[in-house]
Structure 1
Amino acid sequence: MDRDDVTWSGYWPAAPTPFTAGLELDEAGLAALLEMYAGDGVHGVLLNGSTGEWFSQSPAERRRVAEVGVEAVAGRYPVVVGVSAFTAAEAAELARHAKAAGADGVLATVPPYVHPSPAEVLAFYREVSEATDLPFMVYNWPRGVAVDLAAVPGLMSGLADLPNVAAIKDSTGDWLAMLATVEAVSDRVRVFGSLTHRRGLALMAGGLGGDGAIDGGGIGARYGVPFFEAALRGDIATARTWADRYQKLSAGMIAPDYSGRFASPISQLKAAMNLLGQPGAGSVRPPLLPVTDPIVLKQIAGVLTDAGFTPEA
């Protein structure tokens, strides 16, 4: 399997998982959120990724999110399901369920806390990616797992060579390291990374590679969707305009290392979604805390306003 076995590209939200005020899984909210994404014209979605708070869900809830999500999307855009877990066996079982639910692919980080060696990384991804015949997306997430796959010479190339790997989501905070990943593997697999800006446009327009971005929450779809559509058809001037508008929003909310400007990234995301009246936000689950400070909420509303949105009072 390689990049030509999938059509994955463009702007994808990493969907938050909605929870009710009582912290129960909000299935109707999730379906409504995915319907909103369809209206936004997104090019794919990631369920149960970091933004989806997989770490605070039970295995049964994670399976249910996959089922509800696939049913709600109904084939209108690709659905990739996150199966990150502390062991390969757990991740493989979630991958098999995702396939049974009708997902288009699966994704995983290396196990959190473990700090696996390069040989252990390859062994983990080999086992999980071969649990099904679904296209697999490797997720490099140093902020969450304290291991930067892009920092190990040759590791991304070795992962790209695994039989079922079709894509890499490289969320290193080091843009030059992400560029090295694009250069090393984009001839073989799809690469999603920090591309929704003028530097990313230069990569794609210059033929160096890069396929898309997976963005926490999808608030930026208003700008990210037309950016990638313009970039991938070679309309540089239009793409630059959308890139600048997207960056005003993104840089106002997220630091270069992917930490939040005002609170934990998922907490401030859900606060922003609630301010915009978007479906499927609700609350976060512990250990995360909701943003309730009126001063912080006003600051988030200010970023949204500056970026061209109209938050609710």
Structure 2
Amino acid sequence: MDRTDVSWQGYWPAAPTPFTPDGALDEAALTELMELYAGHRVDGVLVNGSTGEWFSQTPAERRRVAEVAVAAAAGRFPVVVGVSAYTAAEAGELARHAAGIGADGVLSTVPPYVHPAPAEVLEFYRAVSSATDLPFMVYNWPRGVAVDLDDHPDLLQRLADLPQVVAVKDSTGDWPAMADTVERLTHQVRVFGSFLSRRGLAILLGLGGDGNIDGGGVGAPFAVPYYRAVADGDAAAATHWVDRYRALSGRLIRPDYSGVFATPIPQLKAVMSILGQPGGTVRPPLLPVTDPGLLARLTAVVDDSGIRDAARMAAPAAGPAGAPR
């Protein structure tokens, strides 16, 4: 397989997993969230990634999240399932479940906490990516696993050469290194990176690159038309939409993917609540944002960005399963 075997591109939310205040998985809210994404005409969705709080779920819960999301998406957009785990055996079991329920692909980081060496990284991905016939996305997430694959260009090339690997989600905080990865690999695999900026636009229109997988998707009303404009080669329209996106996201998330007002996932779910979106609450060890002062500051960011009105205008009722976007 290579990049031509999938049509993955554009703007994808990394979906949060909605939990109730008592910590239970909220399946109804997760279904509603998939409908929200369909209404925004996103290009794909990642579930059980970092934003999905996979680390605080049981294996049975992770399987159920994948089942609910795939059923709710109903073929309207690709669903890639995160299978990150401490061992290749655990990740492989989750990947086989994803294949069995009709997911469109799977994704994994290297094992957290372990700090594997390049040879160990390669063997881990060889085992997990070959567990199924699904297209596979390598996830570079140094903030979460303390290993930056961009530090090892030869290793990234060897990962791209694995038979099932079709994409890389490059969430390094080292922006020039991400651009180098685009230049080296975009002819072979899809590269999702940090392209929602004017310099990101220059990379997309020049070197290449395929899309963003963005925590939560609250910026979809700005990011979806941005990527439509990029696809059309309309730099002026793309610049308009990316400036609007940055006016929201740039006040919430730092370049290293940390949150401005709180840790990223509680901050995201607080913003979703302000917008009336079905993000639910977080599960320990994370704590919800409850401080009135912080909530007031988040509300000010939301109000200043114009995202409320944009969301109302950008999200017509979702069409029937399989309807074109």
Alignment partner of 1:139: what SS? strand
**Following TM superposition, by how much is the alpha carbon of 1:310 offset from its aligned partner in structure 2, in angstroms?**
4.2
Alignment of 1:230-245 (within 5 A): 230-245=229-244
The corresponding residue for 1:127 is 127
Distance, in Å, in 1 between the alignment partners of 2:200 and 2:308 is 28
The corresponding residue for 1:268 is 267
Answer whether contact 1:106 1:135 (CA < 8 A) is retained: yes
Distance, in Å, in 1 between the alignment partners of 2:71 and 2:81 is 13
- Aligned AA (2:296): K
Answer whether contact 1:14 1:45 (CA < 8 A) is retained: yes
Residues 81-130 of structure 1 deviation map (CA, whole Å, 9 limit, x = unaligned): 00000000000000000000110000000000000001100000000000
Alignment of 1:144-183 (within 5 A): 144-183=144-183
2:200 corresponds to 1:200: yes
- Aligned AA (1:126): R
**Following TM superposition, by how much is the alpha carbon of 1:300 offset from its aligned partner in structure 2, in angstroms?**
0.8
Report % sequence identity: 68
Q: What TM-score do the two structures reach when normalised by structure 1? A: 0.98
Alignment partner of 2:107: what SS? strand
**Following TM superposition, by how much is the alpha carbon of 1:303 offset from its aligned partner in structure 2, in angstroms?**
1.1
Residues 208-244 of structure 1 deviation map (CA, whole Å, 9 limit, x = unaligned): 1100000000001011100001001101100000010
- Aligned AA (1:259): S
Alignment partner of 2:177: what SS? helix
Alignment of 1:64-143 (within 5 A): 64-143=64-143
**Following TM superposition, by how much is the alpha carbon of 1:153 offset from its aligned partner in structure 2, in angstroms?**
3.0
Distance, in Å, in 1 between the alignment partners of 2:156 and 2:75 is 30
Compare 196-205 and 284-293 and name the one that shifted more: 196-205
Over the aligned positions, Cα root-mean-square deviation in angstroms equals 0.9
Distance, in Å, in 2 between the alignment partners of 1:13 and 1:310 is 17
Residues 67-89 of structure 1 deviation map (CA, whole Å, 9 limit, x = unaligned): 00000000000000000000000
Answer whether contact 1:11 1:42 (CA < 8 A) is retained: yes
Distance, in Å, in 1 between the alignment partners of 2:195 and 2:12 is 12
Unmatched runs of 5 consecutive residues or more in structure 2: 310-325
**Following TM superposition, by how much is the alpha carbon of 1:200 offset from its aligned partner in structure 2, in angstroms?**
1.4
**Following TM superposition, by how much is the alpha carbon of 1:306 offset from its aligned partner in structure 2, in angstroms?**
1.6
Answer whether contact 1:204 1:232 (CA < 8 A) is retained: no
Distance, in Å, in 1 between the alignment partners of 2:133 and 2:9 is 20
**Following TM superposition, by how much is the alpha carbon of 1:309 offset from its aligned partner in structure 2, in angstroms?**
2.9
**Following TM superposition, by how much is the alpha carbon of 1:131 offset from its aligned partner in structure 2, in angstroms?**
0.2
Count residues in correspondence.
Answer: 309
Answer whether contact 1:38 1:76 (CA < 8 A) is retained: yes
Alignment partner of 2:251: what SS? helix
Distance, in Å, in 1 between the alignment partners of 2:73 and 2:261 is 32
Alignment of 1:30-69 (within 5 A): 30-69=30-69
The corresponding residue for 1:27 is 27
Answer whether contact 2:221 2:307 (CA < 8 A) is retained: no
Distance, in Å, in 1 between the alignment partners of 2:177 and 2:285 is 31
Distance, in Å, in 2 between the alignment partners of 1:307 and 1:142 is 29
- Aligned AA (2:145): V
Alignment partner of 2:268: what SS? helix
Alignment of 1:187-226 (within 5 A): 187-206=187-206, 208-226=207-225
Distance, in Å, in 2 between the alignment partners of 1:59 and 1:174 is 32
Answer whether contact 1:150 1:156 (CA < 8 A) is retained: yes
Distance, in Å, in 2 between the alignment partners of 1:177 and 1:141 is 13
Answer whether contact 2:219 2:307 (CA < 8 A) is retained: no
The corresponding residue for 1:2 is 2
Answer whether contact 2:138 2:165 (CA < 8 A) is retained: yes
Distance, in Å, in 1 between the alignment partners of 2:124 and 2:175 is 25
Distance 1:146-1:14 versus aligned 2 partners, 3 A rule: same
2:306 corresponds to 1:308: yes
